[in-house]
Amino acid sequence: QVTVLYFARSAELAGLRSETLSVPQQITALQLWEEIIKVHPRLAVIQDQVVFAVRQEYVLLGDQLLVLQPGDEVAIIPPISGG
């Protein structure tokens, strides 16, 4: 189980700021995103713009294998607008 943290637009789309999800211990970043989309389909609209932060390190959505430990935090970081 990991804690998924939602920020900014991802929190708006998911309708919450955090939740606990059960996912495989070894999973690619893209597979993890697909698991999250199953729970919150509205998040699909930001897929091309989002990055994860796993244990406070940025991870792009792709084939990178994540080895998650129980209690790890996965932050969903959408694009931040501003100037």
pTM given for the model: 0.89
d(CA 38, CA 11): 16
Higher pLDDT, 39 or 60: 39
Q: Which residues contact 17 (CB under 8 A, 6 or more apart)?
A: 5, 6, 7, 11
Q: Which pLDDT belongs to residue 44?
A: 95
Q: Which pLDDT belongs to residue 82?
A: 55
Fold classified for 2-77: Ubiquitin-like (UB roll) (3.10.20)
Domain boundaries, the chain: 2-77
- Give tens-digit pLDDT for 49-83: 899 999 889 998 899 999 999 999 999 988 766 55
Mean pLDDT across 21-29? 95
